[in-house]
Structure 1
C-alpha cells in the first residue's frame, strides 16, 4: 500500500511573501499562513485558537504569490508536508516542517467587484 501526504488549508497570510530566485532562474516564495478555529465553552464564552503554517511555493506558483498575494490575503493552499533540517553555527540541528504548495486559490474578493444581484 502507498502512503498519502496531503494538506489542505484555508487561511490568511501573516506577511507579504518572501521571494527568492535561485540558480537557473527558479522562483521560490515563502510565507506564513494563519488558520483559526473557534469554539464556545460550557459557559458560552467564545475561544479562538490560531495555528501558523510555513508555506513554500515554487516556480509559477511563486510568481503568482509575488504578483497577487499580500499580508492578510485569504488563500486556499493544497500541498504536502516536507520536513528538512539544517545545522546552525554551533552545530545544533534544527528541523523545519513546511507545506509545499501544489495548488493555490485566491479567495479574496476583487476590489471594486459588485456582488451578484439576488
Structure 2
C-alpha cells in the first residue's frame, strides 16, 4: 500500500512582520502571512492577477531565525506540509484553519529592507526556557569550543 505525499512549496512575500510566541517549555512558534500572486490573461487579453494568502508556522530554531530576520515585504521560500484543523470558537461556531507547517525556509530577494536583513531584538522567552551555556563555561568543562555557534548562522 502506497503512502501519501503532503508537500507544499511557496515563494511569496510577507504581508506583515512575523508573530513570535513561545511555549511554556521555551519552544519558539513563528507565524507568517505569505502572499503568492499568479498572473494570467483573460479572454479579452487583459492581465488578471490573483493573490492568495497563506498562514505559515515555523517551530523551534527555524521559527527563531524567521522571527529575527524576516520583515514585512521580504520575499521568502517555504517548504513544508499543509495542515487542516477544526475547532469550536467562543461563540460555539465551528471554525476551520488551514496552515502550512514549514520544514524549510530560505530568505530571498531584498524585500523592503534592501538586500541585507538586520536582526531585530527577540521577544523575551518564558522563564522555563532552557539557556545555553556560555562559551567560557564550555571551555572550562573541557568541551571543545567550535569557532561558530548556531547563533552565528542565520539559517
Do these two structures clear the TM 0.5 threshold for a shared fold by scoring above it?
A: yes
Normalized per residue, the structure richer in strand is: 1
Shift of 1:95: 1.2
Which digits, 9 at most, give the CA deviation of each residue in 1:71-118, with x for residues without a partner? Answer: 01100000001112221112211110100000001112424xxxxxxx
- Partner SS, residue 64 of structure 2: helix
Which deviates more from structure 2 when the two are superposed, residues 34-43 or residues 70-79? 34-43
Alignment-derived partner of residue 101 in structure 2: 100
Radius of gyration: which is bigger?
Answer: 2
Q: CA RMSD in A?
A: 1.1
Partners of 1:58 and 1:100 in 2: how far apart? 8
Give 5+ residue unaligned stretches, structure 2: 117-155
Partners of 1:24 and 1:108 in 2: how far apart? 34
TM-score, normalised by the number of residues in structure 1: 0.89
Which deviates more from structure 2 when the two are superposed, residues 4-13 or residues 41-50? 41-50
Q: Identify the structure with bigger relative contact order (alpha carbons < 8 Å, sequence gap 6+).
A: 1
Partners of 2:14 and 2:60 in 1: how far apart? 19
Partners of 1:72 and 1:44 in 2: how far apart? 29
| 1:27 counterpart = 2:28 | yes
Alignment-derived partner of residue 55 in structure 1: 56
| 1:79 counterpart = 2:80 | yes
| 1:66 counterpart = 2:52 | no
Which deviates more from structure 2 when the two are superposed, residues 15-24 or residues 80-89? 80-89
- Partner SS, residue 4 of structure 2: coil
- Partner SS, residue 37 of structure 2: strand
Alignment-derived partner of residue 116 in structure 1: none
Give 5+ residue unaligned stretches, structure 1: 112-118
- Following TM superposition, the consecutive aligned residue runs of length 4 or more in structure 1 with deviations greater than 2 angstroms are 41-44
TM-score, normalised by the number of residues in structure 2: 0.68
